[in-house]
């Protein structure tokens, strides 16, 4: 077999001879690879946007619910049956070193009445630690305090959207009084704007009051049990698994569950939520990429087609080469490398095309492009693979020609 450099030189020469034809042949590969790159980049962008939104809810968070998430006899969903006590909560907070903060929360949608407006919004009863866990500071005023919590004070912290709707734009909500179920609440703080969450809900449309106040005003307390969901923040993202395990162990001990008893609580992490939400996106991207891949294969068939034409056209050339001493492998490599170069160039142009297309289109629809190097390399490898697979048959055909017949071919 002659050297690869020599073969490459031969191939690039043959391709340059038919510039338009070579370009049109690679077009299929260009479009295929371009589509894969474009779709993958958009998909990756959407995924990281979802991830960012979920992370805006607070990273390192483990959610703890009363009751089992699943169980025999159609037991109610998570949180339906209170099993976690305030004592449990305190134990989690104090006994587990991987836990940074713990905050229960309970919500209810209620009409809130200001002097000028009425606005239906989500009221959340929680403890001050909630804002630590969610990494959510106030933009003006202050958060309600532990003593507010202890005394069930009628103080409230408000989100920006709710504030605008209740008091109108430009009015300072601090010190304003709103009525919820006939009880007057004083606005002590306005939260920083946080935007939409992963579900598309406006996180700024809400009012936060001490959990104790919520229990006395909205929902009769159950005394020793903690209502609602409980957010636990781990000291680091790596500690999430440890937190879930330790919380589980601690609660099982505290609830005196035997080895055969099911958990009477359940936990889930934001990581699970992220993977759940991004998995939909991934499925979508995968599906579209599969379609794009089909077009890449169609492009490969185009390469095969043109290589077959080329072999027929150049039958005499093949005969001459064989007569002067080209071995079957030399001929095969010549055509195989030609197909490979054709599709590799198509792949490279496809990457440029895909990225360029994204740069033009993505901003128009507010999409985010995120091109992973990995995808670029995979696309290039796949298009080269397509060249080899679809170039093999024509190349083999060329190498198996009989030199006498090839020389006589008109």
Partner 1 sequence: MPALIQLSNLAKVYQSGDSEFAALHDVNLDIERGDFVAITGSSGSGKSTLMNILGCLDSPTRGSYLLSDRDVAKQSRIELAKVRNEFIGFVFQNFNLLSRTTAAENVELPLIYARVPPAERHRRAKEALERVGLGHRAGHTPSQLSGGQQQRVAIARALVTRPPLILADEPTGNLDSATSVEIMKLLTELQQSGMTIVFVTHEPDIAAYAARKLLLKDGAVISDLRQKPSLKEAS
Residue 361 found at the interface with partner 1 (CB under 8 A): no
CA nearest 159: which of 178, 145, 146? 178
Using CB under 8 A, which of 196, 249, 329, 374 touches partner 1? 329
Residue 321 found at the interface with partner 1 (CB under 8 A): yes
Look up residue 213 and give its two tokens.
């106040």
* Count of positions on this chain that bind partner 1 (CB under 8 A): 21
Sole window of 79-87, 173-181, 314-322, 337-345 interacting with partner 1 (rule: CB under 8 A): 314-322
Residue 407 found at the interface with partner 1 (CB under 8 A): yes
Using CB under 8 A, which of 323, 352, 361, 381 touches partner 1? 323
Using CB under 8 A, which of 2, 4, 287, 381 touches partner 1? 2
Using CB under 8 A, which of 138, 298, 320, 378 touches partner 1? 320
Sole window of 110-118, 204-212, 317-325, 387-395 interacting with partner 1 (rule: CB under 8 A): 317-325
In the complex, least distance from residue 15 CB atom to partner 1, rounded to whole angstroms:
13
Using CB under 8 A, which of 72, 175, 325, 366 touches partner 1? 325
In the complex, least distance from residue 284 CB atom to partner 1, rounded to whole angstroms:
50
Kind plus residue range of the DSSP H or E element containing 379 = helix 373-399
Residue 20 found at the interface with partner 1 (CB under 8 A): no
Kind plus residue range of the DSSP H or E element containing 288 = helix 270-313
In the complex, least distance from residue 6 CB atom to partner 1, rounded to whole angstroms:
6
Beta strands per DSSP E along 196-334: 206-210, 229-234, 265-269
Residue 8 found at the interface with partner 1 (CB under 8 A): no
Residue 4 found at the interface with partner 1 (CB under 8 A): no
In the complex, least distance from residue 346 CB atom to partner 1, rounded to whole angstroms:
24
Using CB under 8 A, which of 324, 360, 365, 366 touches partner 1? 324
In the complex, least distance from residue 308 CB atom to partner 1, rounded to whole angstroms:
20
CA atoms within 13 A on the CB side of 339: 31
Residues 343, 330: contact at Cβ < 8 Å? no
Using CB under 8 A, which of 150, 171, 291, 404 touches partner 1? 404
190: left (phi over 0), alpha (psi -120 to 50) or beta: beta
- Residue 16 or 364 with smaller CB distance to partner 1: 16
- Residue 276 or 404 with smaller CB distance to partner 1: 404
- Residue 13 or 181 with smaller CB distance to partner 1: 13
**Do the strands 177-180 and 155-158 form a parallel or antiparallel pair, or are they unpaired?**
unpaired
Sole window of 122-130, 165-173, 236-244, 311-319 interacting with partner 1 (rule: CB under 8 A): 311-319
- Residue 3 or 373 with smaller CB distance to partner 1: 3
**Residue 11 buriedness (CB in 10 A; 0-12 / 13-18 / 19+):** buried
- Residue 241 or 328 with smaller CB distance to partner 1: 328
Look up residue 37 and give its two tokens.
């790159």
Residue 319 found at the interface with partner 1 (CB under 8 A): yes
Residue 90 found at the interface with partner 1 (CB under 8 A): no
CA nearest 222: which of 234, 214, 230, 231? 214
In the complex, least distance from residue 321 CB atom to partner 1, rounded to whole angstroms:
7
**Residue 150 buriedness (CB in 10 A; 0-12 / 13-18 / 19+):** exposed
332-351: b (≥16 Cβ within 10 Å) or e = bbbbbbbbbbbbbbbbbbbb
CB neighbours of 265 closer than 8 A, spacing ≥ 6?
64, 65, 66, 67, 68, 83, 84, 248, 251, 255
Q: Which residue has 């979920």 as its token pair?
A: 54
CA nearest 42: which of 366, 353, 379? 366
Quote the crossing angle between the two packed helices 328-365 and 373-399, to the nearest 10°. Answer: 150
Task: Give contact residues for partner 1 (rule: CB under 8 A).
Answer: 2-3, 6, 17, 316-317, 319-330, 403-404, 407
């Amino acid at each position: 077999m002659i050297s690869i450099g020599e073969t490459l030189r031969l191939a690039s020469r043959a391709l340059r001879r038919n510039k338009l034809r070579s370009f049109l042949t690679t077009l299929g590969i260009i479009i295929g690879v371009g589509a894969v790159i474009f779709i993958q980049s958009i998909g990756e962008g959407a995924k990281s946007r979802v991830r960012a939104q979920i992370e805006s809810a607070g990273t390192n968070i483990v959610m703890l619910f009363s009751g089992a998430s699943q169980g025999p006899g159609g037991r109610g969903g998570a949180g339906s049956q209170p099993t976690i006590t305030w004592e449990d909560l305190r134990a989690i907070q104090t006994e587990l070193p991987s836990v940074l903060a713990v905050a229960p929360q309970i919500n209810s949608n209620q009409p809130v009445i200001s002097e000028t407006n009425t606005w239906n919004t989500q009221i959340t009863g929680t403890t001050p630690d909630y804002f630590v866990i969610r990494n959510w500071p106030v933009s003006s005023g202050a958060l309600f305090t532990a003593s507010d919590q202890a005394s069930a004070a009628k103080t409230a912290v408000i989100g920006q959207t709710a504030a605008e709707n209740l008091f109108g734009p430009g009015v300072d909500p601090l010190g304003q009084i709103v009525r919820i179920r006939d009880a007057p609440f004083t606005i002590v703080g306005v939260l920083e704007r946080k935007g939409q969450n992963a579900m598309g809900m406006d996180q700024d449309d809400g009012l936060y009051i001490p959990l104790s106040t919520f229990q006395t005003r909205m929902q009769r307390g159950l005394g020793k049990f903690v209502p609602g969901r409980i957010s636990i923040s781990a000291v680091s993202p790596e500690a999430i698994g440890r937190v879930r395990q330790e919380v589980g162990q601690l609660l099982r001990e505290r609830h005196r569950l035997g080895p055969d008893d099911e958990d009477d609580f359940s936990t889930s992490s934001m990581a699970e939520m992220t993977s759940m939400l991004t998995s939909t996106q991934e499925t979508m991207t995968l599906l579209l990429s599969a379609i794009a891949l089909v077009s890449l294969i169609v492009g490969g068939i185009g390469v095969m087609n043109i290589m077959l034409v080329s072999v027929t056209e150049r039958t005499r050339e093949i005969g001459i080469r064989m007569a002067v001493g080209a071995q079957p492998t030399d001929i095969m490599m010549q055509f195989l490398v030609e197909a490979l170069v054709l599709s590799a160039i198509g792949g490279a142009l496809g990457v440029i095309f895909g990225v360029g297309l994204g740069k033009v289109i993505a901003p128009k629809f507010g999409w985010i492009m995120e091109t992973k190097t990995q995808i670029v390399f995979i696309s290039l490898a796949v298009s080269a693979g397509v060249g080899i697979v679809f170039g093999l048959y024509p190349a083999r055909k060329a190498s198996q020609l009989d030199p006498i017949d090839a020389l006589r071919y008109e």
